[in-house]
């Protein structure tokens, strides 16, 4: 893919740029030719906080074409009204929060600027190529369009949604997924499972779940806590998971094989025309997993 680099987003301020997500965007923007200023309490070009903007930060805010907030939700919501008066007219204000309802409402209240709310749907360590990035365009304009173009240029897949749809989808795509894997791990612990023994005999579905569990268990607890605790629909998603386990138990404990068959049929129908695509993806994953296991064994 040819790269045209930045056009109007020449000076970019990344708040939280010392973190994983902020650092990824700072690096990508710099690689596309932007002049990037990192603001972070942990250190950067400016050691500071958007909830208490000092003179150096205020000066940079007035010069920035893009201000990207890669900070926790409480910091973003507290900081937006404090930094908004210092943004130059027509600048682009963006964030990377995983829940959109509150932050999009805050961005709608900022006048005279463009605004886009992003959610990279992947861990920064995986890199952006091929990965989806949800985008809520709050105040459109040429700078907002340029940021979406850059996401595609970096190999990402921008997916435009509104805030309500974003939060509804991520309740299943993030909250439910992580809750399922974490619950699987807690169940293994309850069973007194030996991971070494399980790994030796694990069929592909179990090996895949073990791999997912290992990734989450190796991650930063605050990330997964925020996904479960901050999402407005998280309780409903976990409730649906618990109810589904009870429904399955009722079918089995009640020796209701016919009901089990009907339930499996409903799951098959849930995919509609996408069934074959997802089934083939699973086959590819299992092939890759088996190949990796063979390599480790040699």
Residue 66 exposure: Cα atoms within 13 Å on the Cβ side? 33
Assign 3-class secondary structure to 224-237: HHHHHHHCCCHHHH
Q: What global pTM score does this model have?
A: 0.87
pLDDT tens digits, one per residue of 141-197: 999 999 999 999 999 999 999 999 999 999 999 999 999 999 999 999 999 999 999
How far apart CA 93 and CA 141 sit, in angstroms, is 11
Among 154, 153, 71, 152, smallest CA distance to 117 is for 71
CA distances from 271 to 162, 195, 265, 268, 279 (A): 23, 32, 10, 6, 10
DSSP string, 72-107: -HHHHHHHHHHHGGGSPTT-EEEE--S--HHHHHHH
Residue boundaries of the structural domains of the chain:
11-161, 166-297
**How far does the chain reach from its first CA to its final CA, in angstroms?**
37
Q: Residues 200-210: pLDDT tens digits?
A: 999 999 999 99
Is the per-residue pLDDT at 297 higher than 60?
Answer: no
Half-sphere exposure of 221 (CA within 13 A, CB side): 0
Reading across the β-sheet that carries 66-69, which strands appear in turn? 35-39, 11-15, 66-69, 92-95, 114-120, 132-139, 157-160
Check if CATH label 3.40.50.720 holds for domain 11-161: yes
Task: Dump pLDDT digits (tens) for 45-62.
Answer: 999 999 999 999 999 999
Tell me if residue 202 falls in helix, strand or coil.
coil
Q: What is the rounded average pLDDT of the residues 244-261?
A: 98
pLDDT at 2 over 50: no
Q: Could you report the per-residue pLDDT of 22-37, keeping only the tens digit for each?
A: 999 999 999 999 999 9
């Amino acid at each position: 893919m040819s790269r045209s680099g930045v056009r109007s987003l020449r000076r970019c301020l990344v708040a939280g740029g010392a973190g994983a997500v902020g650092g990824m965007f700072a690096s990508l923007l710099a690689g596309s030719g932007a002049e990037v200023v990192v603001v972070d309490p942990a250190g950067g070009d400016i050691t500071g906080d958007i909830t208490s903007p000092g003179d150096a930060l205020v000066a940079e805010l007035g010069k920035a074409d893009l201000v990207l907030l890669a900070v926790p939700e409480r910091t973003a919501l507290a900081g937006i009204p404090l930094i908004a008066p210092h943004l130059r007219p027509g600048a682009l204000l963006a964030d990377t929060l995983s829940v959109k309802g509150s932050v999009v409402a805050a961005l709608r209240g900022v006048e005279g600027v463009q605004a886009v709310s992003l959610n990279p749907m992947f861990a920064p360590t995986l890199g952006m190529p091929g990965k989806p990035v949800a985008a809520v365009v709050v105040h459109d304009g040429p700078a907002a369009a340029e940021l979406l173009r850059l996401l595609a240029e970096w190999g990402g897949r921008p997916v435009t949604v509104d805030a309500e749809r974003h939060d509804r989808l991520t309740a299943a795509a993030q909250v439910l997924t992580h809750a399922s894997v974490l619950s699987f791990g807690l169940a293994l612990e309850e069973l007194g499972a030996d991971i070494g023994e399980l790994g030796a005999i694990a069929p592909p579905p179990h090996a895949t779940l073990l791999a997912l569990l290992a990734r989450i268990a190796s991650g930063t607890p605050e990330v997964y806590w925020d996904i479960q605790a901050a999402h407005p629909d998280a309780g409903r998603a976990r409730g649906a998971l618990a109810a589904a386990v009870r429904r399955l138990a009722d079918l089995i404990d009640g020796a209701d094989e016919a009901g089990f068959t009907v339930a499996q049929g409903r799951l098959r129908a849930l995919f509609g025309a996408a069934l074959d695509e997802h089934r083939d993806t699973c086959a590819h994953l299992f092939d890759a997993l088996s190949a990796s296991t063979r390599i480790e064994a040699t």
